[in-house]
């Protein structure tokens, strides 16, 4: 009965969402890479890339960029344990898929199906995984139920519940207790998160605190050759003061630019590297920079294409996958998602370079 109610509500939500996403699809040309697969149209040659009937198959799911960052060291650890594994990586967003293809090699990449019984069953049968791993709190009831019916164990890694998410789940605890019972094991990132999972009805015997996988490989990734490469790319002379504003959200760029204007009065050669959390906002942010006359701006993609920065004081990061390296140049970093109620972005990523990291009050 609970699943019936869930599916009725899900279908209702999808009906409401169709006009909005249809407009985005046809007018803004968004979701064109992902929508077909999310509706069940998986590529025909998947069986060949997955290697059905050969090595054990592990399907790992990370919804977007942040979760993919946590997934990469987990995939590396799995391969060290068993090099023969066939790895399937799914994401829910196109930016997450782009990031996954950059930092995870030798895997089959797909988009996660919408959580309707007919779609998830078809995807699971095509992939035929021996194990399903979900990163953070991606709990899709129909998918987990379909795994259980097929005797495919499902586990959660990097499990976390923010205060906002916990309040939302707690209102329907009776339902999520049943969903959590279909997860064989939960690896929580902290004691606080573990207690929240227990409060929702998770089995204490299937729960452990294992830390945050996002930070497992940061120290190794903070290599001096990365710093040299970024310094050459951006034409940054030694001794230059660099202010990096990473993973900013709407409403934060104006504050960053205001601070930068004041910094340049004291440090005229100070360079600003501004990286919106969502690269598709780069045009909007560029317009803001130009309207407020903060100085000439060049996009990171232009530098990657061979253009020189010359005297331009602002570099706008318009694609994903380079922010960790850019942090290596920073004198000081502002980490976004923290001046607005977004819960904050990854502060240990810039801290791994030994730089000074500043952030706002919203760091849930």
DSSP letter for 182, please: T
CA dihedral sign, ordered 185, 187, 191, 197: negative
- Residue from 47, 48, 67, 136 carrying the catalytic annotation: 67
Inter-CA distances, 114 with 1, 200, 259, 313, 323, Å: 21, 24, 42, 44, 30
The Cα 291–Cα 298 span in angstroms is: 15
Taking a C-beta distance cutoff of 8 angstroms, is the pair 92, 64 a contact? yes
Residue 25: which H helix or E strand, with range?
A: helix 2-26
The H-assigned helical ranges of 205-347 are 218-221, 224-234, 253-266, 282-291, 300-304, 323-327
How many other C-beta atoms lie within 10 A of the C-beta of residue 303?
A: 17
Taking a C-beta distance cutoff of 8 angstroms, is the pair 111, 38 a contact? yes
Task: Give catalytic status of residue 253 as yes or no.
Answer: no
The length of the chain, given as a count of residues = 364
DSSP letter for 214, please: G
Q: Which residues are tagged catalytic?
A: 67
């Amino acid at each position: 009965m609970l699943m019936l109610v869930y599916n009725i509500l899900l279908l209702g939500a999808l009906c409401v969402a169709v006009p909005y996403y249809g407009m985005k699809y046809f007018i803004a040309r968004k979701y064109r890479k992902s929508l077909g697969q999310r509706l069940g149209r998986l590529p025909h040659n998947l069986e060949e890339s997955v290697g059905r009937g050969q090595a054990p198959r592990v399907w790992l799911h990370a919804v977007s960029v942040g979760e993919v960052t946590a997934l990469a060291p987990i995939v590396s650890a799995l391969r060290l344990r068993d090099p023969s594994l066939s790895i399937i990586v799914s994401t829910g967003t196109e930016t997450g898929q782009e990031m996954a293809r950059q930092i995870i090699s030798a895997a089959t990449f797909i988009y996660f199906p919408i959580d309707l019984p007919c779609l998830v069953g078809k995807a699971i049968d095509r992939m035929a995984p021996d194990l399903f791993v979900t990163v953070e709190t991606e709990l899709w009831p129909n998918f987990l139920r379909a795994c259980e019916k097929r005797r495919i164990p499902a586990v959660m890694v990097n499990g976390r519940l923010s205060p906002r998410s916990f309040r939302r789940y707690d209102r329907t605890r009776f339902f999520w207790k049943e969903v959590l019972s279909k997860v064989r094991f939960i690896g929580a990132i902290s004691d606080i998160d573990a207690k929240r999972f227990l409060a929702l009805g998770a089995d204490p015997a299937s729960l452990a605190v294992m830390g945050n996988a996002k930070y497992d490989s940061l120290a190794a990734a903070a290599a001096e050759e990365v710093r040299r490469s970024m310094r050459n790319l951006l034409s940054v002379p030694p001794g230059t003061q660099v202010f990096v504003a990473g993973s900013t959200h709407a409403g934060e760029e104006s504050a960053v630019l205001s601070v930068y204007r004041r910094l340049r009065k004291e440090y005229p050669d100070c360079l600003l590297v501004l990286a919106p959390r969502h690269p598709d906002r780069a045009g909007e942010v560029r317009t803001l920079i130009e309207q407020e006359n903060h100085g000439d701006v060049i996009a990171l993609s232009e530098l990657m294409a061979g253009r020189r920065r010359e005297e331009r004081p602002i570099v706008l990061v318009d694609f994903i996958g380079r922010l960790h390296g850019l942090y290596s140049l920073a004198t000081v970093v502002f980490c976004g998602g923290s001046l607005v109620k977004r819960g904050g972005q990854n502060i240990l990523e810039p801290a791994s370079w030994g730089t000074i990291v500043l952030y706002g009050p919203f760091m849930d």
